[in-house]
Each structure stands twice: as C-alpha cells, then as structure tokens.
Amino acid sequence: MKKLRTPDACFNNLPDYDFPPHYTDVYDGEGGTLRMHHIEQGPTDGEVVLCLHGQPTWSFLYRKVIPVLAKAGYRVIAPDLVGFGKSDKPTLRSDYTYSRHVNWLKQWLVNNNLNNVNLLCGDWGGLIGLRLAAAYPDRFARLIPTSTVLPDSEGGVPLEMTEQMYQAYESLPVPVDIRQVWAQFESPGEIHPFLYWRKLCSENKAFRPSHLVEASSVNPIAAQAILDAYNAPFPNESYLAGVRQFPSLLPVMPDDPELATCDMVWRLLRTFSKPVMTVFGDKDAFTIGAEKVFQERIPGANGQPHTMINNVSHFAEEEAGEELAQAVVHFLKQS
C-alpha cells in the first residue's frame, strides 16, 4: 500500500494546537504498516476520554474541548484517523473501506491498551467508534455520540429503490458550491441529500476540508488561520484520497453490505446498559434527529442529561467546544 506522510512543517504555528505528538503503528492489511498519530493531555492515571473526529476534519477539531476535560482530571486522547491529520495517508481511494477504518482503529485501541474508555465521537468518529464499542464493550465505560449517525436497514431506503438511487446519483451534476449541498440537507428534495455531498467530495476538484467547516458554521469563522489549519494535513490533491472517499463509504445505498454489519452493531448497542449521552447542535442539518434514535434504542441512554447546544451546527466542537466539554464533564461526574 503506497502512502504519504504530511511534512511536519505543514503543522507549524497552528492556532491553539501545540500538543506533543504520539505515534502508533498498525498493520495496513497488505503486508505493511501505517503510522497513526494521536495527542494526549491530562493526568496519565485519569479516566480516559477518547475523542474521535470525522470527515473532513482531524484532531485539531478538539483543541477547545481537550483543555477543559484535562483540567477536570481526565486523560484526553484524540487520534487522527488514517488518511487524516498527522496520520499516514494511503494514496488510492480504493485503499479506504469502512471495515479497514474500523480495523485500523481497533489495532490502535488495543496497541495503546486503552480501557475504561469514555467515547466522545462525532460524524465518522461515531460510525467507526460505535463499532469499536460494540466489538469491545468491556473496554468502554460510557458513550457520547455527537452529530453522528449509525445507519441500518430498518430505517433505510427499500432494497427495490437501489437502481433508482444509483441512477439519481449518476444524473446529478457536480456541485460547484458546498452551500448548494448544505441547502439540500436543510430542505431535502426527492433525491437523498447525502448523494449531493458524496458527489461533491468525489468529483469537485476545488473542494477543501475548510469549505465544509466554514459553510456549516452558524457563526462565521473569522480567523483565516483556523480554516487554514483544517487544510494543513492536505498540502495538495494527492493527500486527499481518504477525505474524498469517506462519503462513498457511508452505507446509504440499499444494497451496501455494510448495512448488515451496522444491523449487527445495533443489536449489540440495544443491550448496552452503561451510560450514554447525546450532544448535538440544534442547527445541524446533517444529523439532527439521529440523537432521538440513540436515546430510544440504547438502554444506557435512559434518564441521561442529553444536551442540545443552541445555535450550533454540525461541528459543535468548533463552534462551542467549551460548552460541549462542560456538558461532557457534567455527564461523566454524575453518571
């Protein structure tokens, strides 16, 4: 497996991100290894809070959350998924699959011997992290899904709609502006809005990670240095394979075999009785409503202080990181 490693110079002088790096090697599945990066703050003997980012962000997303949790006495760990941040980046889109992402993170979790883990997971961090929690329930103490989903065949598109969905996707023009895509989530039409996002990431050559963070933010991100930091791991197009591929891995197509795996994960989560709290932004057009699914299906969610952060969109960690972190601390202290 061919891979790239973003030059360290790309990460110089990032705002509020001066955390020392830590590295772990994992088997790539093809006879080689990949280096995964993570940051770690707080007391080494503290209870672990594992912060998992999604697409198209990286551990920089948690820079406001980490100090609050660490000050409260928690050992806060935030890895970069393979293809993101300071972790290695396989060069082919076909190198990335949902199962591989799960397996890479499983290895990372076991190699770092993490136990009694409180999982804070957003976007694809939830799609991957919740599969880890189902695979290793004894290693996880609490779950905190934020702005994420976990699809299944129960609430999905009927199988007989498969060909129609593929035809709809092929017929879509490539979106030229990410705000066009965001508008589809805010006011869905006949075509599944996620197909627009998939099309943009796959085929719009001008797409950069900062575009989504900026377009989805309720409150404008004033500092250009912050937007530049989201792009920092990807100095040119050759580094973006993982970012571009992620939306194509989400099992929204009715014939996607990963739906069966997600069904199995949901069967296990329906028996998860340890504490579960959701934290979502009320303006998140991507995932709003998914919080109710977690609350209704997972036994451990009953009676917990589920939090809806006002006037915040998909990346609550960016827009209201301190408020999100305080909600997490309150939950961890009282549950």
CB 126 within 8 A of CB 146: yes
Q: Which domain holds residue 236?
A: 159-249
Tell whether 102 and 179 lie within a shared domain.
no
CB 266 within 8 A of CB 297: yes
Position 304 scores a pLDDT of 98
DSSP 327: H
pLDDT by residue for the chain (335 residues), tens only, comes to 999 999 999 999 999 999 999 999 999 999 999 999 999 999 999 999 999 999 999 999 999 999 999 999 999 999 999 999 999 999 999 999 999 999 999 999 999 999 999 999 999 999 999 999 999 999 999 999 999 999 998 866 777 878 888 898 999 999 988 888 888 888 888 788 889 999 999 999 999 999 999 988 998 887 999 999 999 999 999 999 999 999 999 998 888 999 999 999 999 999 999 999 999 999 999 999 999 999 999 999 999 999 999 999 999 999 999 999 999 999 999 99
The Cα-based distances of 302 to 118, 274, 295, 296, 306 in angstroms read 17, 10, 7, 8, 9
Count of H helices and E strands in the chain?
13, 10
**Nearest partner of 218 among 175, 182, 181, 177, judged by Cα:** 182
Tell whether 206 and 298 lie within a shared domain.
no
**The pTM is what?**
0.96
Helix axes 178-186, 193-203, angle to 10 degrees: 170
Beta strands in 286-325 (DSSP E): 307-309
The CA-to-CA distance between both ends of the chain, in Å, stands at 44
Return the bridge partners of 276, or none. 143
d(CA 210, CA 40): 24
DSSP 141: E
Tell whether 263 and 125 lie within a shared domain.
yes
Tell whether 81 and 123 lie within a shared domain.
yes
Tell whether 284 and 149 lie within a shared domain.
yes
Tell whether 220 and 293 lie within a shared domain.
no
| Residue indicated by tokens 């571009």 | 244
CA dihedral sign, ordered 64, 68, 69, 75: positive
Which residue among the candidates 123, 152, 192, 211 is catalytic per the annotation? Answer: 123
Of the residues 249, 272, 293, the one at which a domain ends: 249
Beta strands in 48-198 (DSSP E): 48-52, 75-79, 89-90, 117-122, 140-146
Reading across the β-sheet that carries 48-52, which strands appear in turn? 22-27, 33-41, 75-79, 48-52, 117-122, 140-146
Position 67 scores a pLDDT of 98
Tell whether 114 and 16 lie within a shared domain.
yes
| Residue indicated by tokens 């990346």 | 315
Which residue among the candidates 53, 101, 211, 314 is catalytic per the annotation? Answer: 314
**Nearest partner of 192 among 183, 201, 184, judged by Cα:** 184
d(CA 276, CA 264): 19
In one-letter notation, the amino acid at residue 258 is E
The residues near 14 (Cβ < 8 Å, ≥ 6 apart) are 60, 225, 229, 232
d(CA 201, CA 23): 28
Tell whether 52 and 118 lie within a shared domain.
yes
Instruction: Domain count for the chain, please give it.
Output: 2
Asked about 330 being catalytic, the answer comes back as no
Of the residues 231, 249, 267, the one at which a domain ends: 249
Tell whether 132 and 29 lie within a shared domain.
yes
| Residue indicated by tokens 């960016």 | 318
3-class DSSP state for residue 19? coil
CB 282 within 8 A of CB 288: yes
Structure tokens at 184: 């589809």
Tell whether 284 and 225 lie within a shared domain.
no
Tell whether 83 and 213 lie within a shared domain.
no
The residues near 164 (Cβ < 8 Å, ≥ 6 apart) are none
Position 198 scores a pLDDT of 93
Which residue among the candidates 28, 80, 256, 284 is catalytic per the annotation? Answer: 284
Asked about 18 being catalytic, the answer comes back as no
Tell whether 285 and 201 lie within a shared domain.
no
Asked about 37 being catalytic, the answer comes back as no
Of the residues 196, 214, 249, the one at which a domain ends: 249
CATH number of the domain where residue 53 is located: 3.40.50.1820
